[in-house]
Amino acid sequence: MNTSLVVHQTSADLIESAAQKIVTLARESITARGSFALALAGGSTPRALYELLASEKYRSEIEWQKTQIFFGDERAVAPDDELSNFKMAQTALLSKIPIPEENIHRMEAEGEDLENAAREYEALLKMHFPLDLVLLGMGDDGHTASLFPHSPVLDEKEMLCAATPIASLQPHIRRLTLTFPAINAARQVWILVTGESKAARLREVLQDSPAKGSTPSAGVQPQNGELVWMLDRAATAKLAGQ
């Protein structure tokens, strides 16, 4: 596994750099394979990134007709619910770019049978596997996507998408999530972490060898791809040597 830490002075610097790198990676992927398969994350830092990608500066820099959009996780709510990651991405990015509707693969987590929804999403993933880029964040508890501490989904070895138990944090509902087999097969995985509130957990993941299952972000270990931690200076406050 090739791992790198890229530290930016501010979160705005991080977002600008991430947008530039996505443009470059999309061009390389489309040149090499004819398409760019991207899994989006939820959260405030990814939202700012999506808004920048949708801006006049970047909107025309990516061949959206050759881009396939997936999601890292989704809450068990309707797609137009304010809690929905799809709703956030639709508002910030997808409604503002010339991407065909059939290239957007949302997780249909609003139904009662989440296990079947996970199997159907896995079938979609397999059509564009491995993904070129998986974007992730990290919660204060160390979770990433909807992989929460001590969740049974952390032990999944085969399925690419899984239905979770009721989440341990708000909102206390079930979710769909990419699993480690899906994430760790990606050509690139970027974990975006900003803010001093994440500093202690980031040190635990990167330097303290956390106990198995206690800090899911530590389980992100691409097999043949590249892992990039994109950090702002505040998030690195407790890292040795920073």
What is the domain-level CATH number for residue 19?
3.40.50.1360
Query: CA of 208: how far to CAs of 25, 26, 215, 236, in Å?
Result: 31, 34, 11, 14
Q: How many domains does the chain contain in total?
A: 1
Domain that residue 136 falls in = 2-173+192-236
Choice among 76-85, 91-100, 168-177 with the minimum mean pLDDT: 168-177
Within a domain: 186: no
Which contiguous run of DSSP H or E holds residue 218?
Answer: none
Residue 213, phi-psi category: left (phi > 0), alpha (psi -120 to 50), beta (remainder)? left
Relative to beta strand 188-193, strand 133-137 is parallel
Kindly state whether residue 183 falls inside one of the protein's structural domains.
no
- What distance in Å separates the CA atoms of residue 50 and residue 30, rounded to the nearest whole number? 20
Residue 70 domain-assigned?
yes
Predicted local confidence at residue 213, as pLDDT:
84
CB neighbours (10 Å) of residue 93? 23
Residue 180 lies in a domain: no
Q: Give the mean pLDDT of 210-214.
A: 82
Q: Is residue 202 part of a domain?
A: yes
- Whether the per-residue pLDDT at 204 is higher than 80: the answer is yes
One-letter amino acid of 55:
S
More confident residue, 210 or 179: 179
